[in-house]
Chains A and B, each alone.
Chain A
């Protein structure tokens, strides 16, 4: 059965085009992807991303459990800080990527991809041998991503939490729009700045309405998953299921910066060996030189027609008005400035390797 978020009816009433995504009935666009994209880059927009999963890990062994399953070093977190990480599997791939929030020394809040909620739950549970209390609050929790340069201006009036000075990857919990216990973090997936607001489903409508009322003078708009994808791709952020998955190497995906060999974790040995042996492929960004739009699954070729990789994400960048993409290529072709050819409907179309973010 397809799931709804707490606000599905509202999205339909707002004229959203709805699509099934990761088992949820989700808004893919309202006014149009380009318009929504520009709204987030220049002003402020709100995404209902309540399909995302949330787990609470609590107990004296919580940090040890997280350190075991996560690639990053969660011991570096302090209360009120967030960390990006991934869950490595034992075969060299990635179970999921996630955010880890430290509420207090013994309480952590994990935010995972909607498509992986069950898989992640089972995966972390498998390593929970020291009685950490795990709670899956995904079904009760709504998540709104308020993104764009005007985000702080809009949200500031709704809370006593000091959002204007909140540093990137920090969070606070407090009263928001008259609702207690709302968690607000300075995080997001757009590169446009902004916040993510976690609220119980029962209060979701109240919080959404308050945000839109406060945002009206700034031209706030609802934003769908379509623009979420173009925004994240302009920043070169990985999307699980496209750019990383159970079979892709996190090191080849460029996630070395959140892979901390200074501690032990699942498959640390395997990844260390891979790093020492040298990577075979690399996830690169590229821009099309000739006309055409790269799409997931298209082959990447060298100048002689040899297949050297595949496209994992691609779109027309609404900001640049150029076609951009990401894909894995053999290491010899990964250098900035290297010419690649994307096989678009069997025609090789010229592209060039560039270093993300595509939009600075």
Chain B
């Protein structure tokens, strides 16, 4: 399992990669393994501001469904078009091509409060 150092993480298994006022968000390698084969990403919040820890969508695996939580308050700009037709990208490349949404951050400094790669790894190692 990998935990890229340049990302921030949530206890709910999302990651966020910030660039300026925007960021992209996905689910972690640990999360995709736990979910198994992912078949559908359902995000109905494009254009909306979603508060920190609120649900911005759901990820459907063959056997289970899991909510997606917003790491920090942000407005959803777009969903990764590629995962619409190829949701397996989330399993294959969770930190790369399998990213989920691009957002505009309310306050980029909020990200500092999230988990580091080491903190997150320690959490899922238990």
On A, residues with C-beta under 8 Å from B are: 17, 28-29, 32-34, 226, 229-230, 291-293, 295, 315-316, 318, 323, 345, 347
Contacts and interface: CB of A to CB of B under 8 A. Distances in A.
B49 to A, nearest CB: 19
Given A226-B63, A293-B60, A316 B40 contact: yes
Nearest to A230: B62
A316 B42 CA distance: 14
Residue with the highest number of chain A CB atoms closer than 10 Å, among B40, B42, B62, B65: B62
B63 A318 contact: no
20 contacts: A17-B36, A32-B37, A33-B36, A33-B37, A33-B62, A34-B37, A34-B62, A229-B63, A292-B40, A293-B39, A293-B65, A295-B65, A315-B62, A316-B39, A316-B40, A316-B60, A318-B37, A318-B62, A323-B40, A345-B58
A291 B62 CA distance: 14
Contacts of B42: 291-292, 345
Contacts of B44: 347
Interface in B93-112: none
Instruction: Bin the interface of chain B by size.
Output: 10 to 19
Given A291-B42, A293-B39, A28 B63 contact: yes
Given A34-B37, A34-B62, 20 more contacts: A28-B63, A29-B36, A32-B36, A33-B36, A226-B36, A226-B62, A226-B63, A291-B42, A292-B40, A292-B42, A293-B39, A293-B60, A295-B65, A316-B39, A316-B40, A316-B62, A318-B37, A318-B62, A345-B42, A345-B58
Interface string B63-91: 10100000000000000000000000001
A315 B36 contact: no
B37 A315 contact: no
Contacts of A33: 36-37, 62-63
B63 A315 contact: yes
Contacts of A226: 36, 62-63
Contacts of B39: 293, 316
A166 B65 CA distance: 41
A131 B44 CA distance: 63
B119 to A, nearest CB: 25
Interface in B25-42: 36-37, 39-40, 42
A32 B34 CA distance: 11
Contacts of A230: 62
Contacts of A292: 40, 42
Contacts of B36: 17, 29, 32-33, 226
Contacts of A295: 65
Contacts of B91: 32
A65 to B, nearest CB: 38
B40 A293 contact: yes
A295 B40 CA distance: 14
Contacts of A229: 63
Nearest to B58: A345
Nearest to B55: A345
Nearest to B60: A293
A32 B63 CA distance: 11
Nearest to B91: A32
A230 B37 CA distance: 12
Nearest to B64: A295
Interface string B41-66: 01010000000000000101011010
A230 B62 CA distance: 8
A356 B49 CA distance: 42
A345 B36 CA distance: 21
Contacts of B65: 293, 295
A316 B39 CA distance: 7
B105 to A, nearest CB: 25
The 5 residue pairs across chains A and B that have the minimum distance between CB atoms: A316-B39, A33-B62, A34-B37, A293-B60, A33-B37
A147 to B, nearest CB: 18
A32 B39 CA distance: 12
A34 B58 CA distance: 20
Interface string B13-25: 0000000000000
A316 B63 CA distance: 8
